[in-house]
Amino acid sequence: MQTVVLLRLSRYASPGMAFVFTLLSLGQQKPQSVPGIYLNQKRIMLRRFLHNTCILVLCLAAVSPVFTQSQTKEGYAIKNVNVIPMDQERIIPGQTVIVEDGVITKIGPNINPGRKVAIIDGGGKWLIPGFFDMHVHFFYEQGEHNNTCEAELKMMLANGMTTARILAGHPAYLDARRKVSVGVWPGPELIIASPQLVGKWPWPPDFKNYEIVDSKDKAEAAVHRFKREGYEAIKITFMVKAEVYDAIIESARKEGIRVTGHVGPLVKLPRALKTGQQIEHMDEFIEMLLPDTSYNHGQSVSDMNIWRKEAWATVPFLDEDKIPALVTAVKNAGIYVSPTNYFFVSTFGEPMTEEQIKKTAGYRYIPSVIKKERWQNWDHYIKNAPPEASRRRYVQLRKQMAYQLWRAGVPLMAGSDSPEFFVVQGFSLHDELEMFVRSGLTPFASLQTATINPAKYLGVDKQKGTIGPGKQALMLLLDKNPLEDIKNTNTINTVFMGKKWYDKATIEKMLAEAAQILGK
Ligand SMILES: [Zn+2]
């Protein structure tokens, strides 16, 4: 009865991480997760930037990436464009946007850009801020551990991601951040969370993007070390005990670094809400919908319990009327939430068919070794899938929770949790935005989750997340209006990344290069 089936998918570290391994019948064991926080990056970033610049300035001169637009002018002007600044729900038609030295300097209807700047015709197109994806991983920690970060970053950038938060850290990702920051690699600006803090690691120790913290001392030491090593948040995933969780939170507070991640059944939501942890996946939210009289507390389809058939048996008893109280508690905690609903819905709630999966835009970019694992897991899940009625209700509750959180004013952030199952970086960010709209958010509110909301959370909203004078030129030129149909975020014509821009042909080239490396 109490067997533990570990199905190895990807090995990792996301909520998904958990997903990577299928825990079917867990008996007394409860996988767990914990919170996270981000912080005070400016000082670190400046120090890191100076350091990186010194190291890599020589490389820069030598390795001018072939796929970026070469710039002979002093800046650029996007002419006659419909600006969606994302400061409020509005479109300002017929604008000229001037960018100098990577910063937006002027916006207006009748600006003469002068002869020194390159001209980009924005006629009939829409300009929106570049996207943040607040929950991303690399394939490196999965499959055969090939470091294909460079190709993956191109894929992210080509899909309009101008900032990515990598949620299970590794020294190789700190290196990737450095290469991007000095322009050696094209890619989104990277925010790297620490290796994930876990209570246990029951899988092979073949890729060290985790740290086992089973005591307060270990928690303190880990937080201190990761802060020192330059990680920008502490990531908690699973099986962390409550007292160790408290030690992580306290150490992170002292170190001035935020905590982000899972909340597991050993910690439970009320404890996490008190700490201000930024919560991924709405972990333990569904647990709060169990009736007070239930004997199944700790057994809901939350966190890693999603793999347990017994947990799915609790779904018919979940009480939708408890959502408002849950939402109030989350609202009062003042936290940001990344639901990562597309991943959960497309993998567990409404699992895609083989045909649907193969048609997804990201499928060809999944390395073959990883694809093989994914199909084994998909096959296993499909053959053992929970009843359809439960899955439908699960989807409906997840959407309801996201919708009601939004209505109550809880700031939501787009997180794809890619690459997980068949959810691929870049492409899946658009799926997550569409999922928000399917849950009842307006297209504008959905766009906020990938622009101004994460910018505010990260404390960079003076520089990023909206379009206006003084902001960094992180922008996307779209062929179609995303406020009309959120799917139009897919119509990317040009990605602006500060001083550089990537036009349609360059985007196609980056994707082709990524497919060649990844699709082997
Ligand atoms: Zn993850």
Q: Which domains does the chain have, with CATH numbers?
A: 6-58+131-464 (3.20.20.140)
Is the Cβ–Cβ distance between 232 and 241 less than 8 Å?
Answer: no
Q: In whole angstroms, what is the distance from residue 143 CA to residue 368 CA?
A: 9
Angle value at C-alpha 37, between 226 and 182, nearest 5 degrees: 60
pLDDT of residue 66: 38
pLDDT of residue 295: 82
CA of 261 to the centre of ligand 1 (A): 8
CA of 165 to the centre of ligand 1 (A): 10
CA of 171 to the centre of ligand 1 (A): 17
pLDDT of residue 17: 41
Cross-strand bridge partners of residue 121: 79
CA of 438 to the centre of ligand 1 (A): 22
pLDDT of residue 296: 83
Report, as ranges of residue numbers, the positions in the chain whose pLDDT lies below 50.
1-70
Q: In whole angstroms, what is the distance from residue 243 CA to residue 188 CA?
A: 36
- Give, in order, the Cα–Cα distances in Å from 325 to each of 35, 268, 285, 447: 21, 16, 11, 26
CA of 265 to the centre of ligand 1 (A): 18
pLDDT of residue 72: 55
CA of 258 to the centre of ligand 1 (A): 17
CA of 135 to the centre of ligand 1 (A): 6
**At which residue do the structure tokens 């990807």 appear?**
10
Q: Taking the model in full, what pTM does it have?
A: 0.88
Cross-strand bridge partners of residue 22: 7
pLDDT of residue 396: 97
CA of 167 to the centre of ligand 1 (A): 6
CA of 418 to the centre of ligand 1 (A): 7
pLDDT of residue 116: 86
**At which residue do the structure tokens 């607040």 appear?**
134
